Amino acid sequence: MVNKFSIKILGIIFVLLLIIVAWRYIFNAGKNERSFRSTLVSIDTAKVTSISLYPQATGHKEVKIFKEGNYWNVNLSNGKTASVPYSKVQDLFVQLLNIKPESVAGQNESQWKEFQVDSTGTRVKVYQGNNKTLDITIGKFTYQQPRTMSTYVRVEDDPNVYQTNGFLTYSFNHDADYFRDDHVINDDYHNWNKLTFTYPADSSFQLIKENNRWELNGIQADSANVVNYLSTLSQIEDPNFLDNPNQSMFRKSLYTLTIQTSSLGAINVSAFADTSDMAITSTQFNNTYFDGKKADFWKRIFVSKKQFLKSSKSKK
């Protein structure tokens, strides 16, 4: 009887030990699995109506990008608004949706400053109407070998600091001008058939396309030089805006380029100047002015007719 009883007790103890070992294995295995949230950003980009940035570049003043109808705009510091190409809005969406947590770098508010996800970071808010669907702070980035960059982020109502792949600071730490449409002209030059350059004195001239060949005042132009100029001009842009030009300069244009197109009608690009500034504007993007003097930008548009004449070398 004693031996049977002892064997039964030993059997029970053995079963209990097996249960304890199994429980510890399951518990430890659970600890080794991913224990933090797998998704930080969940937005429906088709329903987004505005994005508010609070970047370091502006001293954390709001840069608001908002949708009106099918078009996007940005608020400027002078109280006006400017158009934003959808490609730039789409870039923001792509960057946000690609934010994936790789690890937890900090777990409480005392560590926020270290990773610059406190008030010193770039905050991003995304709205659908009046409903805020995302509130995330982009913090500092680190560079690791081999050629790997990471950024620290934090989302609202979550004390954790997450490490993510990529250099997010570059995408979001910008002022309003960065998001503006900085095109002076945006068209396909293959649709152009005539360019009229109206300059002071007797320096004006015309480029006219006849039978797919460009002529300058009736003389055959250098086709390579014409194509190089037109291809650059058709997508020409300038990040140097002039938002508060002196209105007195607009009495008469100094230079004018009129482009006759088969798609958009006439595009007029004009340069106005006073003793200190030069403003360049295009009828394709009304009420947008560019600093013509900055890096001699005006010279890229209003060129001399000599640029299109065949050189003596090309005639040989």
For residue 183, give the DSSP letter: B
Task: Return the number of other C-beta atoms located less than 10 Å from residue 306's C-beta.
Answer: 10
Q: Identify the segments of the chain with pLDDT beneath 70.
A: 1-18, 20-36, 311-316
pLDDT of residue 309: 87
Q: Would you state the torsion angle of the CA atoms of residues 162, 167, 169, 174, taken in this order, to the nearest 10 degrees?
A: -150
Cα–Cα distance, 178 to 175 (Å, whole number): 6
Task: Give how far Cα 278 sits from Cα of 39, 178, 270, Å.
Answer: 50, 21, 10
* Tens-digit pLDDT profile for residues 20-38: 666 565 555 444 445 668 8
pLDDT of residue 169: 85
What percent of the chain stands above pLDDT 90? Answer: 72
Contact 88, 179 (CB under 8 A): yes
* Tens-digit pLDDT profile for residues 70-100: 999 999 988 999 999 999 999 999 999 999 9
Q: Would you state the torsion angle of the CA atoms of residues 284, 288, 292, 297, taken in this order, to the nearest 10 degrees?
A: -50
This prediction's pTM: 0.78
Mean of all residue pLDDT scores within the chain: 89
Cα first-last separation, the chain:
122
pLDDT of residue 275: 87
Cα–Cα distance, 103 to 25 (Å, whole number): 24
* Tens-digit pLDDT profile for residues 155-184: 998 999 999 988 898 889 999 999 999 999
Task: Give how far Cα 244 sits from Cα of 32, 61, 79, 103, 269, Å.
Answer: 60, 20, 11, 47, 18
